[in-house]
Amino acid sequence: MPAFVVRAATQSDGAFLADMVVEAANWREGAARPRHEVLTSADYQRYLTGWMRPADVGVVAQVPTGEAVGAAWFRLFPRSEPGFGYVGTGVPELVIGVRPIWRAHGIGRMLLHRLADEARARGYARLSLSVERGNYAVALYRSEGFAVTQSGIGRDTMVKLLR
């Protein structure tokens, strides 16, 4: 397995984060959502618009060549404009995406660990996420301490306690 590096995301990573939103939206094999549909949807734009707002925090995984292969980030949402995994004011919601060819290599786990450390260091008590039922990443999230707190139509909201 190649050595991966996880670094802090910067403002210039915005386009790559958009790629990762598309990857996250297209987790299901054979049911690809067109890139333009994902990126013009208000449901997904909220995770990207204005990157890096003051409370936005992200990490990017790179292979030794410097190619970015995955990213995870969190942001806060107001009650009036919640994300898919909104659980409350002051609870950051995370998004994670890994290029398909690099999945199942431990990158997602590395990104989750680093992002949880970043959230903990900033004083957050919880992290939330939303995942569609049937997504194989659910097993990763459960193994990393996320638990379902809300169920919706076809998707669950999961929360990890950080303290």
pLDDT in tens, 120-157: 999 999 999 999 998 889 999 999 999 999 998 889 99
- Here the tokens at position 101 are 């060819």
**DSSP β-bridge partners for residue 146:** 160
Domains of the chain: 5-161 (3.40.630.30)
**Could you report the per-residue pLDDT of 54-104, keeping only the tens digit for each?**
999 999 999 999 999 999 999 999 999 999 999 999 999 999 999 988 988
Q: What per-residue confidence (pLDDT) applies to 28? A: 73
Q: What per-residue confidence (pLDDT) applies to 2? A: 60
Sign of the Cα torsion 132, 113, 8, 126 reads positive
Which region among 37-41, 48-52, 76-80, 129-133 has the lowest average model confidence (pLDDT)? 37-41
**DSSP β-bridge partners for residue 131:** 156
